[in-house]
Amino acid sequence: MEQKMTIREVGPRDGLQNEKEIISTEQKIQWINQLSDSGLSYIEITSFVARNWIPQLSDSLSVAKGIKRKKGVRYAALVPNLKGLEHALEADIDEVNVFMSASETHNQKNINKTISQTLPALKSVCSEATAAGKTLRGYVSTVFGCPYEGKVDIHKVLTICHELFSYGVDEISLGDTIGVANPRQVEDVLELVQKEFDSSKIAMHFHDTHGMALANILKSIDMGITVFDSSLGGLGGCPYAPGASGNVATDDVVHMLHQMGYKTGIDEAKLHAAAVFIQNRIRKPLRSHQMAISNSVK
């Protein structure tokens, strides 16, 4: 039983964008190079949003151009629109990641468009990115709950997935943006999703707000999912509750998977060194269990 599991490291984007301490371009490059060396096969390195939208990621082009590209690693970036795509193509990113929310209110607050305005915008990005030879990933956020609307209709999620796949998206990441999913809900959602889409094209993106992320990953694995998003050390935290956990921590996920006998291709010692590096730069303890243990030993 040596099944392979794949981690999509989103720390440099989803993690850093929620950290206040500004990390220099050089340090980001160093960190991403360490992530590449750890054996991760996928790193979302930045977001090509407007410069003043997320100050932490305003150096996205320099970061993307500055990193050492390791063979076998796919380097991805978040791309909100055609302007962002220009920069992503200039940086010769491997994969273009588009995003939207399954909740109308969350989509409006996050993207400043309705869902029906968002879809054609993403379609043009996907179409131009495909023409440029890029692979595509689609994020659907608030799948398991919305901070403004509460419950989200799973059929809305399915409709959006159908749209995104029709735009040529290679993989869809279903996001539990506020970390409210529970294993039974994961089972219910995946049962419906898997009736319509191939499991190998679905990734799960859990946040650990209520501590259920590893349980949700376990349930997803039981359901046949093999691709998971995570942020090293739990970097980034939760924008909705500053003391709470954010993205599930890559080091905790990898540790559980390895302990269970799964292969990830990731070297835990190198991953740990990369976590210590970024922890020293953000100047506060990372929240993952692996880091809490190692911090306590010092």
Q: Can you give the binding site for a copy of itself, defined by CB under 8 A?
A: 180, 182-185, 208-212, 214-215, 217-219, 238, 241-245, 249, 252, 255-256, 259-261, 285, 288-290, 292-293, 295-297
CB of 166 to a copy of itself, least distance (A): 33
Asked about 146 being catalytic, the answer comes back as no
CB of 293 to a copy of itself, least distance (A): 5
CB of 2 to a copy of itself, least distance (A): 12
- DSSP conformation letters of 253-276: HHHHHHHTT-B----HHHHHHHHH
CA distances to 34, 164, 213 from 177, rounded to whole Å, are: 27, 19, 11
Q: Provide the 10 A C-beta neighbour count for residue 52.
A: 7
- DSSP conformation letters of 194-257: HHHS-GGGEEEEEB-TTS-HHHHHHHHHHTT--EEEEBGGGTT--TTSTTS--BPBHHHHHHHH
Please identify, using beta-carbon distances, which residue of 133 and 261 lies nearer to a copy of itself.
261
Please identify, using beta-carbon distances, which residue of 89 and 215 lies nearer to a copy of itself.
215
CB of 15 to a copy of itself, least distance (A): 17
Q: Which one of 126, 146, 161, 238 is the catalytic residue?
A: 238
Q: How far apart are the C-alpha atoms of 82 and 189, rounded to whole Å? A: 32
Please identify, using beta-carbon distances, which residue of 60 and 230 lies nearer to a copy of itself.
230
Please identify, using beta-carbon distances, which residue of 52 and 296 lies nearer to a copy of itself.
296
Q: What Rg do the C-alpha atoms of the chain give, in angstroms?
A: 18
- Both tokens of 80, joined, read 């909100």
CB of 155 to a copy of itself, least distance (A): 21
3-state secondary structure of 91: coil
Residue 131 near residue 167 (C-beta atoms within 8 A): no
Please identify, using beta-carbon distances, which residue of 30 and 185 lies nearer to a copy of itself.
185
Q: How far apart are the C-alpha atoms of 181 and 15, rounded to whole Å? A: 20
Please identify, using beta-carbon distances, which residue of 64 and 254 lies nearer to a copy of itself.
254
CB of 290 to a copy of itself, least distance (A): 7
Q: Which residues of 64-87 are buried (b: 16+ CB within 10 A; e: fewer)?
A: bebbeebeebbbbbbbbbeebbeb
- Which residues are tagged catalytic? 238
